[in-house]
Each structure stands twice: as structure tokens, then as C-alpha cells.
């Protein structure tokens, strides 16, 4: 896979999440639960904010 292909895949996903915020929320929730289960982050707001930051880093940069 080339860098251009990877960039395009990220853009496609970002566009899909924009059109389908419920799907994006599912990804955020799953990341948040991994932060809880694997890293002991128990504060709901903090782990959701961190999960949202991770999603933005991957798909919106």
C-alpha cells in the first residue's frame, strides 16, 4: 500500500464518519473501553476525550 492509498483510505473513513456520526461514536466508544480495560482510565469524560483525540489524530490530520 502506498502513502497515497493510505491517505485516501483515511479520507474515505473521515467522510463516512462525518455522514454517519453514530458509526464514529461506535469507534470512539470502543477505543474508550480499551483505554478503560487496558490502561485503567476510569473517568468516563477523560477516556472519551482521549478516544476522540485518537480518532481525530488518525482520520482528521
Residue-wise pLDDT for 14-54, tens only, equals 999 999 999 999 999 999 999 999 999 999 999 999 999 99
pLDDT over threshold 80, residue 1: no
Read off the pLDDT of each residue in 3-14 and give the average, rounded to a whole number.
93
Query: Domain-by-domain residue ranges, the chain?
Result: 3-59
- Judged by phi (left if over 0) then psi (alpha if -120 to 50, else beta), residue 40 lies in left
Could you count the other beta carbons within 10 Å of the beta carbon of residue 17? Answer: 19
Q: Which residues of 22-54 are buried (b: 16+ CB within 10 A; e: fewer)?
A: eebeebbeebbeebeeeeebeeeeebbebbbeb
Q: Band the pLDDT of 2: cuts 50, 70, 90.
A: confident
Amino acid at each position: 500500500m502506498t502513502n497515497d492509498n493510505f491517505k485516501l483510505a483515511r479520507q474515505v473513513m473521515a467522510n463516512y464518519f462525518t455522514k454517519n456520526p453514530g458509526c464514529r461514536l461506535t469507534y470512539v466508544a470502543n477505543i474508550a473501553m480499551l483505554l478503560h480495560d487496558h490502561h485503567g482510565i476510569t473517568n468516563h469524560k477523560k477516556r472519551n476525550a482521549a478516544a476522540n483525540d485518537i480518532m481525530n489524530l488518525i482520520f482528521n490530520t
